[in-house]
C-alpha cells in the first residue's frame, strides 16, 4: 500500500509539476511580504522602548474642548500644553516625580569658519532626570544645568568639529553668545520620536525662548537683528514630559491631572484644555496625535493577513491529492453521473 501511494504521489507530482512550483513560489512570496509588513508594524510599536524605565515616562498632550459644537465634530488633540503645566505638576501632583518643558528653536550655529542653521532643543534642567539619554562623553545633567553649555549628538559633533574631540569646544550662538560643549550624546535610534534632536541647551540661558523678556514662540526669531529685548513676548505652548514615581498608578495620576486642569486651565468649558498623560511608547500610534499612522498600520495589518491567507489556500488546494488519470477516474465520473441520474 505504501508503494502504491508513493507511486501515485510521484505520478501526480510529475503531472502537476508546474502547478506545484507556482503555488510554492506564491506561498514563499506571500510569507515574505506578510513577514515584512509584520516587522514594520512591530517597529512602529517599539518606539522609545530603548529608554530606561520607559514605562514611567509620559508626554502630556492637550485636549481642547470645541468652542462651537455645531461646527466642530469633536475635541482637538494637540502635542503641546501650557508652559506653566510642568511646575504645577511637580508642586501639586504627588504621583509626578519630575517634569520638564521642551521647545525647538532654529538658531545660527558657528564654529570657526563654519556656520550652520540648526534647531536647538531648549529643555529644563530636570529633563536629564526624566530621560536618561545615552551619553558618550561628559555629563548631560551638568550640561543642562549650565546656562552656558550645550550637549551635542555624535552626528552634530562630527558635522561641527570633524574628527576632533568635541568635549570642551566652544560654539557661537547667533553671534551673540558662546556655548561650551559639556556632553556628547550617542545618536538616538530611528525608533524614537526625538531622533532628530541634535543639540540640547538649557532653558536657563538668557537666549532661550523660555527667558524673559525675549520669551516667544510665535513671533520673530531672535537670531539676528529682529530681536528686540525691550519687546516682551509671552511664551506659547510647549512640550511637557513627566516621569511618574515608582509604583505610581497612571489612572490616579490622570485623575489628579483632571483636577488641576479644572482649576487652572478651564477644562470642561468651551475652549478649555484638558491635559492627558500619554505613555512614551504610545506616541507613535496614538489615535489623537497620529491618527493617519494608526489607520495605515491597521490597513497594512489587514493586507498582511490577506497576503498570507491567499497563497496558503492556493498551496493547500494545489497540494491536495487529485484522482489519478486513467480508467479509474472515468469510472468515478460514470458512477457520479449514474447517481445523479437516479436522484
- Whether pLDDT at 276 is above 80: yes
> Which of 73-77, 101-105, 219-223 bottoms out in mean pLDDT, i.e. has the lowest?
219-223
Mean pLDDT over the full length of the chain:
77
DSSP state of 66: P
Q: Are 179 and 171 in contact, with CB atoms under 8 Å apart? A: yes
Helix axes 85-92, 250-264, angle to 10 degrees: 120
DSSP 10-47: HHHHHHTHHHHHHHHHHHHHHHHHHHHHHHHHHHHHTT
**317-336: average pLDDT:** 54
User: Which alpha helices (H) appear in the chain, and where do they start and end?
Assistant: 2-15, 17-45, 85-92, 127-130, 140-145, 154-161, 250-264, 291-319, 327-342
Q: What are the tens digits of pLDDT across the range 136-158?
A: 999 999 999 999 999 999 999 99
Give the pLDDT band (50/70/90) at residue 264.
confident
pLDDT, tens digit, 9 for 90 and up, residues 245-263:
988 889 999 888 888 887 7
For the cut 50, the answer to whether the pLDDT of residue 328 exceeds it is no
| Range in 3-17, 84-98, 242-256 the model is least confident about | 3-17
Angle at 152 between CA 80 and CA 133, to 5 degrees: 65
Confidence tier at 217 by pLDDT (50, 70, 90): very low
Least confident of 15-29, 35-49, 127-141, 224-238: 224-238
| H or E element that contains 115 | strand 114-123
230 pLDDT above the threshold of 50: no
Secondary structure (H, E, C), 209-236? CCCCCCCCCCCCCCCCCCCCCCCCCCCC
How much is the average pLDDT of 24-43? 85
Q: What is the pLDDT of residues 277-325, one digit of tens each?
A: 888 888 877 766 777 777 888 888 888 888 888 877 877 776 665 555 5
- Rounded CA separation 16/23 (Å): 11
Say what the pLDDT of residue 14 is: 61
Q: Are 202 and 143 in contact (CB under 8 A)?
A: yes
Write the DSSP symbol of residue 79.
Answer: S
The answer to whether residue 330 scores a pLDDT higher than 50 is no
- Does the global pTM surpass 0.85? no
**What confidence score (pLDDT) does residue 262 get?**
79
β-sheet bridge partners, residue 334: none
316 vs 226, more confident: 316
The mean-pLDDT minimum among 123-127, 129-133, 168-172, 321-325 falls in 321-325
Mean pLDDT of 154-163: 89
CA distance 119 to 113: 19
- Percent of the chain past pLDDT 70, that is, above it, reads 73
Q: Assess contact for 98 and 90: CB atoms under 8 A.
A: yes
Residue 221 has pLDDT above 80, yes or no: no
> Which residue do the cell numbers 468651551 mark?
270
- Whether 133 shows a pLDDT value over 70: the answer reads yes
pLDDT confidence of residue 286: 74
Amino acid at each position: 500500500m505504501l508503494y502504491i501511494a508513493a507511486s501515485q504521489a510521484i505520478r501526480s507530482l510529475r503531472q502537476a509539476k508546474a502547478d506545484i512550483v507556482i503555488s510554492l513560489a506564491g506561498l514563499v512570496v506571500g510569507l515574505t511580504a506578510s513577514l515584512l509588513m509584520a516587522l514594520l508594524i512591530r517597529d512602529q510599536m517599539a518606539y522609545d522602548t530603548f529608554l530606561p524605565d520607559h514605562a514611567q515616562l509620559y508626554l502630556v498632550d492637550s485636549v481642547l474642548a470645541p468652542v462651537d459644537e455645531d461646527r466642530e465634530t469633536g475635541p482637538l488633540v494637540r502635542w503641546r500644553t501650557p508652559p506653566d503645566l510642568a511646575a504645577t505638576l511637580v508642586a501639586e501632583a504627588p504621583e509626578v516625580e519630575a517634569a520638564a518643558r521642551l521647545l525647538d528653536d532654529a538658531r545660527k550655529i558657528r564654529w570657526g569658519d563654519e556656520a550652520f542653521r540648526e534647531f536647538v532643543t531648549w529643555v529644563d534642567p530636570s529633563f536629564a532626570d526624566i530621560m536618561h539619554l545615552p551619553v558618550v562623553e561628559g555629563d548631560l545633567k551638568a550640561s543642562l544645568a549650565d546656562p552656558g553649555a550645550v550637549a551635542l549628538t555624535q552626528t552634530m559633533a562630527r558635522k561641527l568639529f570633524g574628527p576632533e574631540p568635541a568635549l570642551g569646544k566652544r560654539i557661537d550662538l547667533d553671534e551673540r553668545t558662546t556655548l561650551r560643549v559639556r556632553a556628547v550624546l550617542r545618536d538616538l535610534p530611528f525608533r524614537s520620536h526625538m531622533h532628530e534632536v541634535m543639540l540640547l541647551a538649557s532653558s536657563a540661558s538668557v537666549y532661550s525662548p523660555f527667558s524673559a523678556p525675549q520669551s516667544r514662540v510665535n513671533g520673530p526669531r531672535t537670531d539676528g537683528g529682529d530681536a528686540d529685548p525691550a519687546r516682551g513676548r509671552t511664551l506659547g505652548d510647549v512640550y511637557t514630559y513627566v516621569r511618574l514615581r515608582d509604583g505610581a498608578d497612571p489612572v490616579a495620576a490622570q485623575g489628579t491631572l483632571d483636577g488641576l486642569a479644572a482649576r487652572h486651565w478651564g477644562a470642561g468649558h468651551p475652549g478649555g484644555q484638558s491635559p492627558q498623560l500619554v505613555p512614551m511608547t504610545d506616541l507613535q500610534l496614538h489615535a489623537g496625535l497620529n491618527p493617519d499612522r494608526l489607520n495605515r498600520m491597521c490597513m497594512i495589518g489587514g493586507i498582511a493577513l490577506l497576503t498570507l491567507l491567499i497563497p496558503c489556500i492556493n498551496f493547500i488546494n494545489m497540494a491536495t491529492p487529485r484522482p489519478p488519470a486513467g480508467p479509474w477516474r472515468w469510472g468515478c465520473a460514470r458512477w457520479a453521473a449514474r447517481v445523479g441520474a437516479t436522484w
